[in-house]
Structures are given as structure tokens and as C-alpha cells.
């Protein structure tokens, strides 16, 4: 077993275990912190796949941005309006059964499939220039649409969160 | 001449559009009546001109199609290209039906001017009636299945609108849900039961298209003519078509709507639910005779259903007390004879019966309308009697109609009914048990018709003293007289060879049914001695029925009461119409509502997932609680169903 | 390397104009405070201009932007549906929102952007566009569903829709990833070339299965339908009209674009899965609709049922199925938006006057509106000569052609069931006594919008070739 495999399983374990805590933990703050490790583990897997850009993005946006926002949200809500931030898990049994069945099916399928093998690449190759170029040529349209999607999300969030104006 | 045929359809359409758009502004009932009946009358004139023109043509030129415009043309270039035109086909069969629809329709329109006088919906009534004639003409003149289906649905819609015409009136269904039903329930029932039939028609149409690659009559029947009998797809097609026919023509198992349809105004019952619309099923089977000839098994079923309906409806008719209900069951029973004729390959005889039945049944209904009119909306024959001296015209015309339906020569009903019975006896597809049912039904028919005549017109008046019956106005009696005349002489066009007639109807319709006759390889029958014996027998049975009814209901009225008590349970069974309505309610209507309400909605949507997995009362309580704090609880549950769905799909994809 | 050609911009003018009008409306809303009317007219002009440009662009489809989207042809046809739906919704919404006291400029901006998302969905030639289009549309719809912020039911609806929608998006991405993993591309044209070979690969099949799941959620097919009744009930009525027509049409358009035009599914397991979903939707939708007392909920279940009918066309996977769905979508859009439009006229604040009984005796006071409503009901029930009949006729014909007669039989039988609940409303309006009336005077624009819908429903019922001819050459990319 070479180092690569060991590191892979290590990251996979971190991801899965922390994800399980996110779901199982009754304290939402714990869940949020566990999510940090999940994101981190996934970033590690990206690195192993030589996807440098995505790995960095994962860290910057998810760990650095979204997660921090989430934690602030959780902590401020508890402080300001004194909500009990515990989550109850109801009907665990049916959920477990059905999710286990789904997972089993998927694992079974993945196990029994012949995965296409791509030729091993010779060493590291930076993906950032390629991605940048693709985004502004072939994938220009999706890139622009993504900005519209974000704009709409912003409008929506403002719409829902803003203070009610005087009745017209 | 043929190119004028679109006019036949156009006049009622114009009448409908004009009355529908401007009718409510017209103050004068007379004007509305003239426009309403005039449009149908003009159609009738055009139809007669075309008919006369056809008579002068050699047989092989009598059939023609007139195409108006291409209606649907899709999938061109693919093997399943559809091209359907709005086109009218004129041939011996469709012109005959057109003459019936417009001729009898015209008389009934004229009658309605008197009958509907003063009704607040006068213009609405004529609007619907013209729309009905338009739809019905599309049905009989269509040259393809789709246009026919359009007419088929159109007449159903008009029937629905007209049954519920007096929507605020209470309506007595005869025991079932007493006091609660209104005419709109009757209308709804008619519509929904008819949709069951339409479902058969629609499926049959899809199958026809798949099998023959076209929907036009010419193409389908042309391709069918070269097939040999015995393929199962033909049995399916014909049976599904017949399911459509049982809905529209009120046969077992879908006959329950017709008696309730009597909730509509009487001219509607005469036009739609006696003379024209209900015979659409018979017309359709006759039109598709080639297809039926390819499926002898389906013909057997048609014959048996027809004979059984004839008997069952006749027995129910024996004990009903509503004058229109008796006539409604009589209509169901007579339609049964027509289907019996279709089933034993006596297509021409069946259509002949459609013709004579249109005359005498319209006459009887209009007569009953005059009676109801005279007695201020009384419909119970137990509260009538002795009307003979007040309503002489109505009485005599009604008796003519009754004799005609009973089958006494030389009235029209005799010839057509006897033709069917003789074919049932002699044809390769008939049988003696079926014939026996037919003759027995004929006896019952004579009996209940003269029970009706006796209770309504003879004996002493049993209505209140404050009622002073009076004869109907001329707009009502003149149509009665014309129809009575036709009921007497209408049969002369079909006097069989055995009685030295030419059987003109059979010869006229011959070319339409020849392909079917060829397929069926019928054994030819000449004039046989048996035919005379059977003829005398059936006339004897009818005469006995008439005599029996007159004895029981005029001379020895105590007998009726005695029998009723003696055979109380039988009477109850018949009076309650074999409890068919109740059975349908128990078996079909309530379970559907229950499944919908209890199982699929509250069950699957709300409880099954929890219930199935945990299955405890505690959880049901929890679900109920969650319904109050709706959000999370239910959303999670939705997600669970969601994941379950994914699971099923993935497993299916992997193992299929 | 040329990134954008002039043709790209010209061909996609309808899309660009519409998006720009959305941006303009947004800026106008930000600049001129409390004047939602500006936003209303800006978006209205944008939609109408886009509609006109689309009409000019109905010829053969042309791939633009490096084979990312297809403009003209199939996409243009679908755009007509989305834009008509948006147009009618915008017109109907103004008076409705004013009456409900929720008239805000953002509303129109969101409708316009949602419509742009729909246009992308139908035009997509690449799975990334499919994804982005769906997200653009969905995010707008989440907000629109909860637009009446103070209404509990609306908040609940929006949140539920959002949670489950995000869930469905997850599966969509999973599916796209698996398809990319097995085929090495996200471009649909490239995938279509090697479909025969790929369809033997179980990972590819699972990917397709995930796509089916996500699309089925968007069209509200059983068992992914459970959000629909709640959301349809909670959302503002005109938004419900928009969701159940435009959004559903868009989801169907991309469903057809992927599974009929690109994949060659007849005879594969994918086709039978779709048939199963179709059958389940028809049965559950129709039977459950019977039990409803709320007209909006009834229409929600009825829309699930119609999803089932249309899915039969996709399951058939042949040219007839595609043409059938394309016709059905138009018919369905007009009859449904008309029905919801009238519901919005009767409805009063705080969700009053939404019950069946609130329509008793409607014809006595509003004879013309009652006639319009009856037209929509008869058409939804599939009674000729209204457009709904031919929609059903075409898709069932396609199913029979594809050797799925059982599906057509279920379809015809369940539409028989549907007659009951549609007719119930007609019976109440015509044959019962009651005090029902419209809530306030209906503005002329709204009346003309609904009348136009009714006229089209009748016209297409009498002369369906008008439309079906347009879709002739669309089958397969």
C-alpha cells in the first residue's frame, strides 16, 4: 500500500466521519464545526486528484466563506432571539432504512461496474490557466448565466430578508 | 347536388350561433321558435333534395364524400401520418339517418314552440336544440371516426345541457336518494356514464388507427374488406366500439342514465333520448358492420346484450308509474331489439327499426308531453285516467303509437320488429333462445304500453278536482298527427317479400352492408312457411299482451292490486329496477370516493410512509401534531418519499 | 479564436432582450422608489419584444455560443409557450397583487428572469446549461412562491419548495457528473452520437436515472410530486398559474430535449421507468383530486395528472410523442392559466373564497366568466372540441405506437375519473344556487388575457394542425 492510497483513505474517513457528525449531532454548533472537517476532507480529495483550482476554491469559498457565515448565523440567532438551537431527529428508523437501501444500491452498482481507466498522467499539471481560458471561450455563456443566477439569488435574499416597507 | 350537403350541417349551426349570440335580446318567442325550427326545416329540405337526387342515380354512384377542409395533418412523412378532413360522406345509410334526424327533429322543434311557451329559458332551449342537431348531423354524416367522435361528444354535451335545463327542479329518481336529487344530478349522471362508453370508443379509435393506419371510413373499411375473420384485435376493436354504443344507446351495463335523463323537458326526451341520439350506437355498429363481420364473437355478444336489455328493460317498464319513465324503459328495450338485429347480422332490419322507432317513440313522448302539459306537470299515471274525452287528438295518436310499438300489422313497428325476430330465428348468427327472448319481450311491450294507455286515458279520472285538462295547442297537435300518420305508414317501405312487399329499405341499404354480408357468408333464405308461422305467433303474443293489459287495468282493476300483493317481492325488485343503481353506488361510486379520500390522499400522501414502517398509533398522533406545525415534519416526509422513489427507479434500471 | 460571433447574438436576441429588460426593470425599481408600475411596463415590453423576436426566429434551429444552446426551431417553439405564460401571468398579477397589497416591482423582475431560465432550459445543448437554466428558474420561483411574506402558508410553501428543490438539484448534479464520467463530455450532441454504446453502461444509466428524478421533481410527477399541492396552494394564485404552466412546460421542454431529442430511449429500461412514473402520476393525481375541496389544490392534483399524460409521450420516445407533448404543453398552458386566472378573480384576502362551494351559482352573476371557466374545465377534462382533447389524443396515440397500449388505457381511464371533479365545478356554477361573484372589478387587461386563452383553447381544439404543423421537423437534434 503506497502513501497515496493511505492518504486517500485518511481524507475519505475524515469526510465521512465528520459528515456523520453533522447529521447526528443534536447541537447545531457542533454540526457546523463538523462541517468544517467535511469540507476540508473533500478539499484534500481534490488535491489528490490533482485538481488544484477546485481544491483551493473549496477551501476559500466553503471553509473560508460559507462556513464562517454559517457559524455567525447560528451564534447570532441564539444570542439575539434565544431560540433553542438543538435539532430533534424524528423518524430516524424509516430514514435510516431508506437511505441505507439507497446507499446499498449505489455501492452495489459502483462495485460491479467496470470503471473506465484514464491513462495515468505524468506528474502535476496546473489546471488554472486551462479553466480560465475555457470559461472565457467555450464556456462563456454558462459563465455569464452563472452571474445572472447569482444576481437573482441576491435579489431573492434581499426580497425575503428586508424590512417591510410601509404599506403602499 | 352532393356539393350542397354541407348546407345540411350549416343551417343548424347558423341557428345555434344566431340564437346563442342574439337570442336573449329577442323578445318574441315566435321569432325564436321560427328561427330554431326553420334552420332544422331547411336542413330537412336539403336532405330531401339530395335523397331524391340519389334515388335517380345508379346504385354505384350513390355514395360520395364532400370534403370541406383538411382538419388535421400531422406526422407527415412518418409511417404514422394522420390526415383527417372535415368531410361528409353521403350514402344510403347516412342520408336515411339525416332524414330521420332533421325530419323528426323539425317536428319536435315545432312542437317545442307550444310546449316551452313562457319558459324563461326559451331562447336557451332552442339554442341547445340547434346545437344538438348540428352535432348529431356531424355524427351521422362524418366520413371518418374522429369527426364522428366529435359529433358523438357533442350530442353528449347537449344531452347534458338539456337534461339539466330546469336545473332548479327537484327530481325523483324513483327511490334512490329520495328528495335530494335535482335535475343537475341526473345530467351529471348521464354525462359520466356516457364518458365510460366514450372511453371505449376512444380506445377503439386508437386501435383502429394503429391497425389500419387511417381513420377515414373508406380506408378502414376498404382495408378491412380484404381481411379474414378471426384476429383477436378485431374482437377488441369491435367490443370497445360496442362499449361506446352501450353508453350512448343505454344498453346493459350502462343503461342507468336514460331513465334519469327524463328529468329534461319532454321534447328533449322525444328528440334526444328516443328518436335520435340514443340510436347513435346502433348507427355506429351498422356503420362498422364490416369490422363486426370480422369478429363474429363480438357479434354474438352484441346480440345477447341486446336481447337481455330488451327483456330486462321491458320487465322494469311493467311496474313503473311515471309516464316518461315507462317510455324511457320502453326505449331501452326497443334499442335492445335494434342491437339484437345488429348482432344477428340483420343490419338493414336494425336500421329499419331505428326509422320506425323514431316515428312512434317520438309520437309517444310528445303525446306524454301533451298529457303532462294538460295536467300541469303531473307525471304519475296512477293520478291520471279518463283523459280520453278531454284530449281526443292526443288519445288517438297515442293509441296509434302504442299499437305500432306493440307490433300489430300493418302498423310500422310490426314490420321492423318482425324482420328482426325472423332474422334472429333464421340467421346463421341467431338462435332460438334469442328469438324466444325477443318474442317474450314483444308480449311484455304490448302489455306495458296498453297498461299505460289504460291508466292514462281510460277509466275514471284520478287527478284533483281543481285540474281541468285541455287539449294542447295546434303547434303541438299537428306534429302529433304527422307522426301518427308516419307511424302507420312508415313500415310500408319495408314490407318483406313474404308479404309480397319489395322490402325497399333492405334493398336501399344493401350496398352499405354487402361487404359485411359477404364476409359472414350467410345462408340465403327464401320465403319459408316457418316465417308465416312465427309471424302469426308474434302477432298473437302482442295481441294477447294488449288484451291482458286492457282486462287488468280497465275491466278488472282489482287484479293488479291482487298480483302486486301476491308477488310483492318480485314487484319490489322490478319497481326498484333490479337495484342496479344501488349496486353501482355500492360497488363503484362509494369505493372510488373512499379510496380517493381515505387512502390516496390521507393515506399515501400523509400516512403510509410512517404507517407502513412504524405502524403505531403513537406515530399517527405525531403525524397529526406535525400537520399543525406543518413545515419540517412534512417536508422531511416528502423527502423520504422522494428517496424511496429514487430507490425504485435505480433498482428498476439495474434489473430491467 | 473567435469567442462570440455576431450570429450568436442575433439568433439569441429573444433571450438577450428579455434578460436586459429584467436588468432594466431592476434598475428602474431601485431608482424610482415605490413605483412598481415602471417595473411592470418594462418587463411587459421586454416579454412582448422577445415574443416578437421569437416569432421571427421560428425557422430551423441553429446551435450558437460554441454549441451551448440551440436557437430557433424547437427552442423558439418552446419560448413561445414560456413567453405567453409569462405575459399572461404578468398581466393577471398586477390587479391581483394590488388587491392583495403585495404589489412590488421585484415581482416582475423575478418573473422575467425565471422566463429567461426557462428559455435556456429548452435551448440547452449542454448539460451545464440545463443545470444553470433550471437553477435560474427555480431560484426565482422559490422567492415568488413566498412572495406574500406575511402569509404563513406562503412562507411554508416557499421553504418547502426550496428545501426539496435543493434536494432535487443535488440529484441533478449527481446525474450530470455520472454522465460526464462515463461519456467524457457534457455536450448533448456528442453524447447522442454514442448513446447506443453508452446505454449498456450501468453508471451511465444511473446518471440518466438521476436526471429523470430531478426532471420528475420539476414537473411534479409521482412520487416526486408531494411539494406541488402545498406550494400551489400557498403561492400567490398568479404565481401558481405561472409555475404550473411556464415552469412545468420548461421542465418538460428540457426533459424532451434530453430524453427524446438526444437519447434514443424506446425499448430501453429508461422508457419503462418513465412509463411507470407516468402511470403513477395519472392514477394518484386524478384519484386524489376527487377528494379536494379547495379549487387551487384540485388544480394542483389535476396538474400532476396532466404531467402523467404528457410523460406518456416521453416514455413513448418517438416523433409522435414529441409532437404530442409539444401540442399538449401549449393547450395545457392556456387552459390552466385561464383557470387559475379566474380563480384569482374570485379569491379574496386571507385565502378566502377558494373552496368549491364558493362557486355555487356563479353563472347567475357572472355569465361570461362562467362560460370561460367551463371552457377551461371541459378542455382540462379532455372533452372535444377543446384543445385538451387533442393533446391527450396525440400522446396516447404515441404510447400505443410505442407498444405501450396499457399506458394509453390507464390514461383514458383516469381521464374518465377526472371528468368528475372538473364537472363538479361546472355543475356548481350552473346548476346550484349561491351568492358567488368575483371579488372586485376585474381590469380589462386581465379579462382580455383570459379571453385570449379561451379563444386559443377552442381554436386549437377545432384546428390543431395550426400548431402541430410547426413541430414537424423537430424530432432529434
Same-domain pairing of B595 and B559:
no
In terms of residue numbers, what domain contains B618? 578-655
The residues that bridge with B64 in the sheet, in sequence order, are: B90
Is residue C77 one of the residues assigned to a domain?
A: no
Q: Which of C3, C44, C39, C6 is nearest to C24 (CA)?
A: C39
Q: Are residues B303 and B270 in the same domain?
A: yes
Is residue B134 a contact partner of residue B126, using CB atoms and an 8 Å limit?
no
Q: In sequence order, what are the beta bridge partners of B66?
A: B88
In-domain check, residue C14:
no
pLDDT digits (tens, 9 = 90+) for C258-272: 999 888 888 888 999
Q: Does the pLDDT value for residue C103 go beyond 90?
A: no
Residues of A in contact with C149 (CB under 8 A): 160, 164
Q: Give C144-186 pLDDT, tens digit per residue.
A: 998 888 888 888 888 889 999 999 999 999 999 999 988 889 9
Residue C339 phi, psi (nearest 5): -65, -45
Identity of the residue in A110, A141, A148 whose CB atom sits nearest the CB atom of C65? A141
> A101, B647: Cβ pair inside 8 Å?
yes
Q: What is the mean pLDDT of residues B399-411?
A: 90
The total of structural domains in chain B comes to 2
Please provide the DSSP assignment of C58-82 as one string. Answer: -SS-EEETTTTEEESTHHHHHHHHH
Domain end, chosen from B570, B598, B627, is at B570
Residue A92 has pLDDT above 60, yes or no: yes
Domain identity same for B482 and B612: no
Alpha-carbon gap: C140 to the closest alpha carbon of chain A (Å): 7
Q: Which of B570, B600, B625 is the last residue of a domain?
A: B570
Q: Residue A149 and residue C136: Cβ atoms within 8 Å?
A: yes
Q: How far apart are CA C99 and CA C349, in angstroms?
A: 8
In chain C, residues with a C-beta closer than 8 Å to the C-beta of B237 are none
Chains that touch A (3 or more CB pairs under 8 A): B, C
* C3 within a domain of the structure (yes/no): no
Of B514, B535, B570, the last residue of a domain is: B570
Query: Between these two residues, C434 and B400, which has the higher pLDDT value?
Result: B400
Residue C415 clears pLDDT 90, i.e. is over it:
no
Rounded to an integer, what distance in angstroms lies between the CA atom of residue B449 and that of residue B53? Answer: 39
Please tell me whether residues B565 and B621 are part of one structural domain. no
The alpha-carbon gap from B640 to the nearest alpha carbon of chain A, in Å, equals 7
d(CA B444, CA B406): 9
Same domain for B586 and B535? no
Going by DSSP bridges, is the β-strand pair B82-90/B64-74 parallel, antiparallel, or unpaired? antiparallel
A167 — pLDDT class (breaks 50, 70, 90)? very low
Least CB–CB distance from A148: residue in C69, C104, C136? C136
Does the beta carbon of A95 lie under 8 angstroms from any beta carbon of chain C? no
Residue A76 inside a domain? The answer is yes
pLDDT single digits (tens) B96-135: 999 999 999 999 999 999 888 888 888 889 999 999 999 9
Contact residues on chain C for B608, CB-CB shorter than 8 A:
none
How far off is chain B from A114, nearest CA to CA, in Å? 14
Residue B107: the pLDDT is 92
Rounded Cα distance between B479 and B488, Å, is 14
Confidence class for position B37, pLDDT limits 50, 70, 90: very high
DSSP chain A: --HHHHHHHHHHHHHHHHHHHHHH-SBHHHHHHHHHHHHHHHHHHHHHTT-HHHHHHIIIIIIIIIHHHHHHHHHHHHHHH----B-----HHHHHHHHHHHHHHHHHHHHHS-PPPPPPPSS----HHHHHHHHHTTTHHHHHHHHHHHHHHHHHHHHHHSPPPPP-
pLDDT value, residue A82: 60
- What's the structural domain count of chain A? 1
Of C212, C290, C412, the CB nearest to B649: C212
| C430 in a structural domain | yes
Is A94's CB within 8 Å of B646's CB?
no
Considering the domain architecture, whether residues B488 and B585 belong to the same structural domain is answered as no
pLDDT tens digit string along B220-275?
888 888 888 878 888 889 999 999 999 999 898 888 888 888 888 889 988 888 88
Q: Please check whether residue A76 touches C, CB under 8 A.
A: no
Q: Are C81 and C203 in contact (CB under 8 A)?
A: no
Number of CB pairs, chain A paired with chain C, less than 8 A apart: 80
Residues B203 and B302 in one domain: yes
The Cα of A123 is separated from the nearest Cα of chain B by a number of Å equal to: 37
Q: In which band, very low, low, confident or very high, does the pLDDT at C187 lie, cut at 50, 70 and 90?
A: very high
For residue B449, give the C-alpha cell.
304500453
The pLDDT assigned to C432 comes to 75
Tell me if chain C has a CB within 8 Å of the CB of A161.
no
Percent of chain A clearing pLDDT 70 (strictly above) = 83
Which residues, including other chains, have CB under 8 Å from residue C94's CB and lie 6 or more apart? C40, C103, C443, C445, C446
Residues B296 and B177 in one domain: yes
Nearest CA distance, A136 vs chain B (angstrom): 37
pLDDT of residue A88: 63
- Annotate B304-318 with DSSP letters as a single string: HHHHHHHHHHHHHHH
Same domain, yes or no: B178 and B295: yes
Q: Is A108 within the bounds of a domain?
A: no
- Structural domain that includes position C426: 266-477
Q: Are residues B645 and B566 in the same domain?
A: no
Looking at chain C, the whole-number percentage of residues with pLDDT higher than 90 is: 45
The highest-confidence range among A18-32, B332-346, C385-399, by mean pLDDT, is B332-346
In a domain, C145, yes or no: no
- Is B596–C213 a contact, with Cβ atoms under 8 angstroms apart? no
- Residue C241 belongs to a domain: no
Q: Is the predicted pLDDT of residue B608 greater than 50, yes or no?
A: no
Selecting from C273, C287, C408 the residue whose C-beta is nearest the C-beta of B596 gives C287
Assess whether B498 and B607 both reside in one domain.
no
Most confident of A142-151, B61-70, B512-521, B554-563: A142-151
Whole-angstrom Cα distance, residue C378 to residue C364? 19
Range of the domain at A140: 3-93+124-161
Cα–Cα distance, A88 to B292 (Å, whole number):
68
Q: Which residue of chain B has the CA closest to C157?
A: B631
How distant, in Å, are the alpha carbons of B253, B460, B538, C162 from that of B426?
Answer: 28, 46, 15, 74
What span, in angstroms and rounded, lies between the C-alpha atoms of B364 and B403? Answer: 11
pLDDT score recorded for residue A81? 60
pLDDT at B400: 93
CATH number at A83 reads 1.20.120.1200
Using alpha carbons, select from B163, B17, B151 the residue that is nearest to residue C385.
B151
Find chain C residues with C-beta within 8 A of A153's C-beta: 139
Closest-CA distance of chain C to residue A153, Å: 6
Residue of A90, A94, A105 with shortest CB distance to B613: A94
Considering the domain architecture, whether residues B225 and B195 belong to the same structural domain is answered as yes
Specify if A99 maps to a domain: no
Q: What is the DSSP letter of B597?
A: I
- What are the b/e assignments for A17-28, b being 16+ CB within 10 Å? ebbebbeebeeb
- pLDDT for C57 equals 85
Tell me whether residue C356 is in a domain.
Answer: yes
pTM: 0.78
Amino acid at each position: 500500500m503506497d502513501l497515496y492510497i493511505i492518504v486517500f483513505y485518511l481524507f475519505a474517513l475524515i469526510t465521512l466521519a465528520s459528515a456523520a457528525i453533522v447529521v447526528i449531532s443534536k447541537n447545531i454548533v457542533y454540526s457546523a464545526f463538523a462541517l468544517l472537517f467535511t469540507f476540508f476532507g473533500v478539499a484534500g480529495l481534490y488535491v489528490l486528484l490533482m485538481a488544484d483550482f477546485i481544491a483551493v476554491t473549496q477551501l476559500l469559498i466553503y471553509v473560508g466563506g460559507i462556513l464562517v457565515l454559517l457559524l455567525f448565523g447560528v451564534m447570532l440567532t441564539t444570542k439575539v432571539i434565544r431560540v433553542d438551537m438543538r435539532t430533534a431527529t424524528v423518524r430516524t428508523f424509516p430514514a435510516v432504512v431508506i437511505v441505507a437501501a439507497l446507499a446499498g444500491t449505489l455501492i452495489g452498482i459502483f462495485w460491479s461496474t467496470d470503471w473506465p481507466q484514464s491513462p495515468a498522467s505524468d506528474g502535476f499539471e496546473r489546471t488554472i490557466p486551462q479553466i480560465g481560458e475555457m470559461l472565457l471561450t467555450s464556456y462563456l455563456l454558462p459563465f455569464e448565466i452563472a452571474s445572472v443566477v447569482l444576481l437573482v439569488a441576491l435579489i431573492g435574499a434581499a426580497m425575503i430578508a428586508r424590512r417591510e416597507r410601509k404599506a403602499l | 347536388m352532393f356539393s350542397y350537403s354541407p348546407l345540411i350541417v350549416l343551417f343548424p349551426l347558423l341557428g345555434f350561433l344566431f340564437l346563442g349570440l342574439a337570442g336573449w335580446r329577442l323578445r318574441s318567442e315566435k321569432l325564436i321558435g321560427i328561427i330554431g325550427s326553420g334552420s332544422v326545416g331547411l336542413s330537412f329540405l336539403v336532405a330531401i333534395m339530395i335523397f331524391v337526387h340519389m334515388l335517380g342515380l345508379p346504385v354505384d354512384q350513390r355514395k360520395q364524400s364532400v370534403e370541406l377542409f383538411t382538419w388535421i395533418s400531422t406526422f407527415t412523412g412518418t409511417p404514422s401520418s394522420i390526415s383527417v378532413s372535415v368531410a361528409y360522406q353521403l350514402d344510403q345509410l347516412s342520408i336515411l339517418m339525416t332524414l330521420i334526424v332533421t325530419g323528426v327533429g323539425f317536428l319536435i322543434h315545432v312542437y317545442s314552440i307550444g310546449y316551452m311557451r313562457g319558459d324563461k329559458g326559451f331562447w336557451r332551449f332552442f339554442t341547445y336544440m340547434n346545437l344538438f342537431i348540428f352535432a348529431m348531423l356531424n355524427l351521422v354524416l362524418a366520413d371518418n371516426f374522429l369527426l364522428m367522435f366529435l359529433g358523438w361528444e357533442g350530442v353528449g354535451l347537449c344531452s347534458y345541457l338539456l337534461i339539466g335545463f330546469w336545473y332548479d327542479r327537484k327530481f325523483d329518481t324513483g327511490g334512490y336518494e329520495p328528495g335530494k336529487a335535482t335535475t343537475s344530478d341526473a345530467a351529471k349522471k348521464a354525462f359520466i356514464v356516457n364518458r365510460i362508453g366514450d372511453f371505449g370508443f376512444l380506445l377503439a379509435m386508437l386501435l383502429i388507427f394503429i391497425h389500419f393506419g387511417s381513420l377515414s371510413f373508406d380506408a378502414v373499411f376498404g382495408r378491412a374488406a380484404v381481411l379474414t375473420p378471426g384476429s383477436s384485435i378485431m374482437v377488441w376493436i369491435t367490443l370497445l366500439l360496442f362499449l361506446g354504443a352501450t353508453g350512448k344507446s343505454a344498453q346493459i351495463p350502462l343503461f342507468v342514465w336514460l331513465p334519469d335523463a327524463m328529468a329534461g323537458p319532454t321534447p328533449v326526451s322525444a328528440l334526444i333520448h328516443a328518436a335520435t341520439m340514443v340510436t347513435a350506437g346502433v348507427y355506429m355498429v351498422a356503420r362498422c358492420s364490416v369490422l363486426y363481420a370480422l369478429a363474429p364473437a363480438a357479434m354474438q355478444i352484441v346480440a345477447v346484450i341486446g336481447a337481455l336489455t330488451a327483456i330486462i328493460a321491458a320487465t322494469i317498464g311493467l311496474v313503473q308509474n311515471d309516464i316518461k319513465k315507462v317510455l324511457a324503459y320502453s326505449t331501452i328495450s326497443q334499442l335492445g331489439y335494434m342491437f339484437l338485429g345488429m348482432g344477428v347480422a340483420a343490419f338493414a332490419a336494425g336500421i329499419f327499426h331505428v326509422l320506425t322507432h323514431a316515428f312512434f317513440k317520438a309520437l309517444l313522448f310528445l303525446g306524454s308531453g301533451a298529457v303532462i302539459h294538460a295536467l300541469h306537470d303531473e307525471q304519475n299515471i296512477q293520478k291520471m285516467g279518463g283523459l280520453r274525452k278531454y284530449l281526443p287528438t292526443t288519445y288517438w295518436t297515442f293509441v296509434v303509437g302504442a299499437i305500432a310499438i306493440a307490433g300489430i300489422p300493418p302498423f310500422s313497428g310490426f314490420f321492423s320488429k318482425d324482420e328482426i325476430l325472423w332474422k334472429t330465428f333464421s340467421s346463421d348468427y341467431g338462435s332460438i333462445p334469442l328469438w324466444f327472448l325477443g318474442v317474450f319481450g314483444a308480449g311484455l311491450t304490448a302489455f306495458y304500453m296498453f297498461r299505460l294507455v289504460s291508466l292514462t286515458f281510460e277509466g275514471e279520472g284520478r287527478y284533483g278536482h281543481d285540474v281541468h285538462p285541455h287539449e294542447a295547442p295546434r303547434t303541438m297537435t299537428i306534429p302529433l298527427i304527422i307522426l301518427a300518420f308516419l307511424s302507420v305508414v312508415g313500415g310500408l317501405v319495408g314490407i318483406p317479400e313474404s308479404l309480397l312487399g319489395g322490402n325497399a329499405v333492405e334493398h336501399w341499404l344493401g350496398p352499405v352492408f354487402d361487404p359485411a354480408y359477404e364476409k359472414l357468408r350467410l345462408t340465403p333464405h327464401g320465403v319459408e312457411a316457418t316465417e308465416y308461422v312465427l309471424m302469426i305467433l308474434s302477432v298473437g303474443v302482442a295481441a294477447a299482451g294488449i288484451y291482458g293489459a286492457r282486462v287488468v287495468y280497465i275491466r278488472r282493476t282489482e287484479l293488479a292490486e291482487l298480483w302486486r300483493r301476491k308477488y310483492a317481492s318480485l314487484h319490489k325488485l322490478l319497481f326498484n329496477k333490479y337495484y342496479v343503481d344501488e349496486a353501482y353506488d355500492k360497488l363503484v361510486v362509494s369505493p372510488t370516493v373512499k379510496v380517493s379520500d381515505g387512502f390516496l390522499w390521507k393515506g399515501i400522501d400523509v400516512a403510509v410512509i410512517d404507517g407502513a414502517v412504524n405502524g403505531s398509533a403513537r406515530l399517527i398522533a405525531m403525524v397529526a401534531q406535525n400537520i399543525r406545525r406543518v413545515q419540517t415534519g412534512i417536508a422531511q416526509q416528502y423527502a423520504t418519499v422522494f428517496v424511496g422513489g429514487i430507490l425504485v427507479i435505480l433498482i428498476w434500471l439495474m434489473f430491467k | 479564436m473567435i469567442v462570440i460571433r455576431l450570429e450568436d447574438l442575433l439568433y439569441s436576441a429573444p433571450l438577450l432582450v428579455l434578460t436586459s429588460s429584467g436588468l432594466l426593470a431592476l434598475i428602474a425599481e431601485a431608482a424610482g422608489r415605490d413605483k412598481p408600475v415602471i417595473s411592470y411596463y418594462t418587463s411587459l415590453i421586454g416579454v412582448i419584444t422577445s415574443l416578437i423576436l421569437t416569432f421571427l426566429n421560428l425557422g430551423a434551429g441553429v446551435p450558437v455560443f460554441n454549441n451551448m444552446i440551440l436557437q430557433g426551431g424547437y427552442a423558439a417553439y418552446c419560448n413561445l409557450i414560456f413567453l405567453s405564460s409569462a405575459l399572461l401571468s404578468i398581466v393577471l398579477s398586477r390587479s391581483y397583487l394590488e388587491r392583495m397589497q403585495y404589489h412590488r416591482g421585484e415581482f416582475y423582475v423575478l418573473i422575467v428572469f425565471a422566463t429567461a431560465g426557462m428559455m435556456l432550459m429548452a435551448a440547452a445543448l449542454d448539460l451545464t446549461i440545463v443545470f444553470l437554466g433550471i437553477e435560474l428558474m427555480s431560484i426565482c420561483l422559490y422567492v415568488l412562491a413566498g412572495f406574500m411574506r406575511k402569509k404563513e402558508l406562503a412562507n411554508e410553501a416557499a421553504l418547502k419548495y426550496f428545501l426539496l428543490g435543493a434536494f432535487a438539484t443535488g440529484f441533478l448534479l449527481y446525474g450530470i457528473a455520472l454522465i460526464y464520467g462515463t461519456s467524457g463530455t457534457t455536450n448533448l450532441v456528442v453524447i447522442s452520437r454514442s448513446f447506443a454504446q453508452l446505454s449498456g453502461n450501468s453508471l451511465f444509466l444511473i446518471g440518466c436515472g438521476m436526471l429523470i428524478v430531478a426532471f420528475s421533481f420539476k414537473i411534479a410527477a409521482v412520487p416526486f410530486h408531494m411539494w406541488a399541492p402545498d406550494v400551489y396552494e400557498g403561492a400567490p394564485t398568479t404565481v401558481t398559474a405561472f409555475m404550473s404552466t411556464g415552469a412545468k412546460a420548461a421542465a418538460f421542454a428540457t426533459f424532451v430535449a434530453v430524453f427524446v431529442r438526444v437519447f434514443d430511449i424506446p425499448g430501453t429500461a429508461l422508457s419503462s421507468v418513465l412509463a411507470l412514473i407516468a402511470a403513477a402520476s395519472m392514477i394518484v393525481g386524478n384519484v386524489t383530486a376527487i377528494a379536494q375541496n379547495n379549487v387551487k389544490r384540485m388544480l394542483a392534483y389535476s396538474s400532476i395528472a396532466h404531467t402523467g399524460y404528457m410523460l406518456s409521450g416521453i416514455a413513448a420516445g418517438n416523433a409522435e410523442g414529441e409532437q404530442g407533448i409539444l401540442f399538449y404543453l401549449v393547450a395545457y398552458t392556456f387552459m390552466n392559466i385561464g383557470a387559475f386566472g379566474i380563480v384569482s378573480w374570485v379569491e379574496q384576502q386571507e385565502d378566502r373564497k377558494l373552496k368549491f362551494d364558493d362557486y355555487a351559482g356563479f353563472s347567475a352573476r357572472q355569465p361570461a366568466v362562467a362560460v370561460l371557466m367551463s371552457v377551461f374545465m371541459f378542455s382540462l377534462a379532455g372533452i372535444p372540441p377543446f384543445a385538451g382533447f387533442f393533446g391527450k389524443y396525440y400522446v396516447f396515440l404515441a404510447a400505443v405506437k410505442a407498444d405501450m397500449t396499457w399506458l394509453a388505457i390507464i390514461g383514458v381511464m383516469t381521464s374518465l375519473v377526472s371528468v368528475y371533479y372538473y364537472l363538479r365545478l361546472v355543475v356548481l356554477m350552473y346548476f346550484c344556487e349561491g351568492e358567488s361573484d368575483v371579488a372586485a372589478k376585474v381590469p380589462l387587461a386581465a379579462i382580455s388575457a383570459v379571453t385570449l386563452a379561451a379563444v386559443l383553447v377552442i381554436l386549437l381544439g377545432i384546428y390543431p394542425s395550426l400548431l402541430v404543423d410547426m413541430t414537424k421537423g423537430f424530432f432529434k437534434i
